[in-house]
């Protein structure tokens, strides 16, 4: 392969490696066709012939290509370069993920935090409205830039929500997700719907406000048992700046029984848009 070819994947020139994980690498790229900057997600060399990983990329494209919302990343293309490198092309969004943002922020700016919480909810609510359950909501799967703009990402294990008779007869599900944010019904392998995402979103909000996940454990089993049985930690204990009324609505997001959570994330959004999330904020509309 020529040196020039190594600097390209498909018609995209590789500019900068943004991040690399176990199975994928993310590049900042520029298109030879229209000079647009994009993000390119390619499988790592050891996974480029892995049928399961290729199928996940294809599925992520099938979900993301139809999404059109300011708080959700848009996916433009799936292809396999030279029959060897499976990749996705996404909107380029100069950012870090929310997990990184929590760890590196210099101050707790109440207005920016409020905006991030709202925008993260709006993106997920839109995904639900399109009939999808994300199944891996966590701070790592939201991007945020310096201005506090937010994008929901990573639809690799998103699943169509069951409706009608399909919901009644849905059996056991493969346990997928991230342990620190998984809803009790996910842990039990039960069929999940958008309320599992709402639980995970509640855990994400807790971490945004308090700087750490709501539950931790010395072992995987201890962590999962806390999600199943431990009392919901109070937001005000983790951050005394949170108002009691905000703490109450976040606790409902993390209810152990999915029937006790909000039916829709838009219900949560409507609530918080009329309350102060943090002490010292002006009364909101």
> Quick one: pLDDT at residue 13?
96
> What is the structure's pLDDT at 27?
97
CA distance 72 to 122: 9
Identify the pLDDT of residue 4: 46
pLDDT of residue 168: 46
Q: Is there a contact between 175 and 187 (Cβ–Cβ < 8 Å)?
A: yes
| CATH code where residue 30 lies | 3.30.200.20
pLDDT score at 284 = 60
Which range of residues forms the domain containing residue 32? 8-91
Q: How many domains does the chain have?
A: 2
Based on the domain organization, do 101 and 233 belong to the same domain?
Answer: yes
User: Quick one: pLDDT at residue 162?
Assistant: 76
Q: Contact, 69 vs 123, CB < 8 A?
A: yes
Global pTM value: 0.92
In a domain, 19, yes or no: yes
Mean pLDDT by 10 residues, the chain (285 residues): 66 94 96 93 96 96 97 97 95 94 94 97 98 97 96 96 57 71 95 96 98 96 96 96 97 98 96 94 68
Give pLDDT, residue 180. 95
- Element holding 108 (H helix, E strand): none
Same-domain pairing of 44 and 173: no
212 and 145 together in one domain: yes
Q: What is the pLDDT of residue 41?
A: 97
| CA nearest to 143, candidates 132, 133, 151, 155 | 151
């Amino acid at each position: 392969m020529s040196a020039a070819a190594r600097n390209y994947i498909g018609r995209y020139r590789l500019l900068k490696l943004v991040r690399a994980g176990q199975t994928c690498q993310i590049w900042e790229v520029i298109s030879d066709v229209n000079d647009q900057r994009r993000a390119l997600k390619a499988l790592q060399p050891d996974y480029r012939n892995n049928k399961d990983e290729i199928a996940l990329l294809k599925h992520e494209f099938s979900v993301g290509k139809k999404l059109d919302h300011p708080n959700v990343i848009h996916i433009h293309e799936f292809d396999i370069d030279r029959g060897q490198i499976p990749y996705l092309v996404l909107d380029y969004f100069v950012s870090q993920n929310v997990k990184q943002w929590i760890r590196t922020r210099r101050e707790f700016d109440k207005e920016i935090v409020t905006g991030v919480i709202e925008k993260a909810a709006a993106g997920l609510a839109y995904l639900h409205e399109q009939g999808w359950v994300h199944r891996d909501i966590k701070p790592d799967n939201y991007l945020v830039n310096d201005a506090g703009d937010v994008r929901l990402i990573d639809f690799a294990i998103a699943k169509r929500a069951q409706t009608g008779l399909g919901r009644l007869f849905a059996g056991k599900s493969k346990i997928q997700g991230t342990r620190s944010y998984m809803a009790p019904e996910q842990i039990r392998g039960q069929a999940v719907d958008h309320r599992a995402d709402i639980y995970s979103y509640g855990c994400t909000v807790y971490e945004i406000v308090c700087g750490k996940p709501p539950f931790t454990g010395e072992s995987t089993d201890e962590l999962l048992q806390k999600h199943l049985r431990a009392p919901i930690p109070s937001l005000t204990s983790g951050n005394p700046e949170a108002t009691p009324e905000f703490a109450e609505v976040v606790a409902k997001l993390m209810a152990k029984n999915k029937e006790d959570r909000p039916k829709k994330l838009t219900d949560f959004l409507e609530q918080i848009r009329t309350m102060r999330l943090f002490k010292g904020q002006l009364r909101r509309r």
